Structure 1
Amino acid sequence: MNTKVIEKINNLKSDRVHGAGWLSRQAISILNLALDKSQAHTTAEFIEEIQMVASELVKARPSITPIANYIGQFLQQIIQRSQSEKDLASLKNFAKAKGSDLIKSSISAVSKAVEYGCGIVTDLDTVITCSYSSTVCKVLELSSQREARFRVIVAESRFEDNTYGEITAEQLMRHKIPTEIIRDEDIGFRISKADKALVGADSITADGYLINGTPTLTLAEAAKKKKIPFYTICESAKFDIEGGTNKEAELEPGFEKTPLDLITGIITEKGTMQPSLVIAYIEETRRLSP
């Protein structure tokens, strides 16, 4: 494997700053780099080479479902194409185009989800959130640009030496959004000041869980207790069709499972979906998958 590709994969594995959506698009970009650096002489060698890179990318971040989903789509299309396309240069060009298409598709899905997300942020709201989600930040930034007047409470989201809520708060404050950081242990007390909760997602599983950074579960339980609407927002590529993140052992440190029955709605590029419908959608998609 090319040394530059290996370096990029290692960077992806150790990245604890960016959200799952960005990381999934970065994974596709690494695949595109592998295409450029390929030393294959035949289409068979090329497929084998790309499969190896794809496997390493998925193993690098096993809890981030869109990496597995997008790479799975990529491989399926390339392998299918290779059955009829025996010219190596043409197959490489096809693969590069598909990689670029997937990145554009992801960006478009996030943009649509953000539009739907803005629909839940209204004047004089107090929104509480935790961890770091670039999509949540985009919702709040766009809502502010559209002159909605609201404030945000961010749990510090401490894990080891990192406080991911502070990353969120710094980004929001750069956009002049009134933001307050609270200690994680104060969520149960301070949530009574909020009108709704909004968090991101690394995965939505078929067995009924949201996987996201700590302290999402604490926030969801507190919201349920106080009868405050709790939303998660993500592109549907984060639905765990393959079932790869259902096992607790596969969760990365700093991530946790939150039961979907604590969630009011899941906001995607398709609109706001009820958790039960999302589970049915995942199961049906899995059944129809080749």
Structure 2
Amino acid sequence: MIPTLYWQDDVVMILDQRKLPARTTFIACRDMKRVIYCIKTLAVRGAPAIGVAAAMGLVLAAKAVKLKDPAKWAERFRAQAEVMRAARPTAVNLGWAVDRMLALVAGAPEDPAERLALLRRESEMMLAEDVAINRAMGRHGAKLVPKRATILTHCNAGSLATGGYGTALGVVRAAAEAGKQIKVIADETRPLLQGARLTAWEMVDEGIPVAVAVDGAVGALMSKGLVDLCVVGADRIAANGDVANKIGTFNVALQARRHGVPFYVAAPLSTVDMDTPSGDLIPIEERDPAEVLAFAGSRAAPGAEALNPAFDVTPNDLVSAIITEVGVLRPPFNRSLAAAKAQSLT
């Protein structure tokens, strides 16, 4: 697996996912502004990967604050942290990572070198933890996969969306590693084609059979019995189990319910936002209309406007189970999620 992001000396290297699969290039980030650029432009995407990128970006921000007075330094750093928090509003892992770094600063050493080293180690720890969490999630999720199965995914929730291994595709990988005969149907995922460009690329690289389908074919494929289960990722999960994920996920869940196909969400507990009671309160990012008004050299009729929400919310009653690093959580999600979050804090 090609790394999504990593430290190279004092530079954050971020894989430019906009160029995949045609080119494998990395963006060298020497300041927080460049990391935010990568987050906003989807050079790095996926809630877990965004969280790790945010932590690394804040290390660069900490290094750039030259104030000697510890109190003034902390005040400037907190201001920079809020700029990072605003980079993408829907992915809760971004705010989670910011809060984790801010908590460190509250008790950080006064010596600038020691303080910076502490933040750097924390960002490296978050990257390593993410890979370990994804592997644990994959082991739990693989138990839900029959010995022979076709899994439908939406967007990309693989190693590219995380520090490594993946959430939804982590389940696919773990099932294949367990000797199960797996096939994947990857929704192309309009308008930016993360399924066609990224999920298909990861699966081909892993040697796992994959077919790309247009988003609108989901119902037809399920009606023909071609899908055994759906596994998707999440950018934020509300306390009641409502799931915000890439636009089109809601449609997949509706079709899955209509055709009796299990619909699973794979996400780390850091993606669960217990401070948000329901999906109605999750902020949904509206992206550039140009992403919708032009495609493959063709443009919409002049004068047409665009609606381009980046995410939708799948109601919890359409979710069969949520796969996490501590196990498979079942409805009622307000209870199972609260219990799992409490367990993670002990």
TM-score (norm 2): 0.74
2:210 alignment counterpart: 179
Q: 2:257 aligns with which of 224, 227, 235?
A: 224
Q: In the TM superposition, what is the alpha-carbon distance from 1:152 to its structure 2 partner?
A: 1.3
What is the match of residue 143 of structure 1?
A: 175
Give the Å deviation of 1:268. 0.5
Deviations 1:97-122 (A, max 9, x none): 33333333333222211221222223
CA distance in 2, matches of 1:244, 1:86: 38
**Equivalent residues in 2 for 1:1-290 (5 A)?**
4-15=31-42, 18-79=45-106, 81-82=107-108, 85-134=109-158, 135=166, 136-159=168-191, 162-166=192-196, 167-191=198-222, 192-243=225-276, 246=279, 250-252=283-285, 253-278=309-334, 281-282=337-338
Give SS of 1:137's match: helix
Residue type of the alignment partner of 2:273: D
Q: Shift of the alpha carbon at 1:266?
A: 0.3
Task: For residue 129 of structure 1, report the CA deviation from its aligned partner.
Answer: 1.3
Q: Secondary structure at the residue paired with 1:168?
A: helix
Greater length-normalized contact order (CA 8 Å, ≥ 6 residues apart): 1
Between the two proteins, what is the percent identity of the paired residues?
A: 22
Moved more, 100-109 or 128-137: 100-109
Give yes or no for contact 1:42–1:88 (8 Å, CA) kept in 2.
no
Question: Do the aligned partners of 2:241 and 2:315 also contact (CA within 8 Å) in 1?
Answer: yes
User: Residues 62 and 245 of structure 1 are in contact (CA less than 8 Å); yes or no, is this contact kept in structure 2?
Assistant: no
Separation in 1, partners of 2:131, 2:203: 20
Distance 1:246-1:185 versus aligned 2 partners, 3 A rule: closer
Whether contact under 8 Å (1:240, 1:282) holds in the other structure is: no
CA contact (8 A) 1:28 1:103 kept: no
Whole-angstrom CA distance in 1 between matches of 2:36 and 2:141: 32
Structure 2: how far apart are the matches of 1:248 and 1:224?
24
Distance 1:90 1:16 in 2: 31
Aligned CA distance change for structure 1 residues 283 and 137 (closer, same or farther; 3 Å): closer
Q: Is the Cα–Cα contact under 8 Å of residues 239 and 282 in structure 1 kept in the other structure?
A: no
| Higher mean C-alpha deviation, range 201-210 or range 13-22 | 13-22
CA distance in 1, matches of 2:220, 2:96: 38
CA RMSD of aligned residues (A): 2.6
Could you tell me how far 1:149 is from its partner in structure 2? 0.7
Which range moved further: 259-268 or 25-34?
25-34
Q: Tell me by how many angstroms 1:164 deviates.
A: 1.7
Q: Distance in 2 between matches of 1:258 and 1:127?
A: 19
Deviation of 1:271 (Å): 0.4
Please state how far the C-alpha of 1:78 moved relative to its aligned partner: 2.1
**TM-score, structure 1 length as denominator?**
0.87
The unaligned stretches of length 5 or more in structure 1 are none
Give deviations 1:194-236, integer Å, cap 9, x for gaps: 1111001111012541000021101101111111111010110
1: distance between equivalents of 2:152 and 2:110? 54
Instruction: Give a deviation string over 1:24-56, Cα, whole Å, max 9, x none.
Output: 111111112222333121211221122122111
- Which has more helix, going by share of residues? 1
* Higher deviation after alignment, 88-97 or 49-58: 88-97
- 93-102 vs 203-212, which deviates more? 93-102
Structure 2 gaps of 5+ residues are 1-28, 159-165, 286-308
- Secondary structure at the residue paired with 2:275? coil
Give the CA deviation at 1:73.
Answer: 2.3
CA distance in 1 between partners of 2:202 and 2:278 (Å): 29
SS at match of 1:250: coil
Paired AA for residue 144 in structure 1: A
User: Which amino acid is the alignment partner of residue 180 of structure 2?
Assistant: A
Counterpart position of 2:20: none
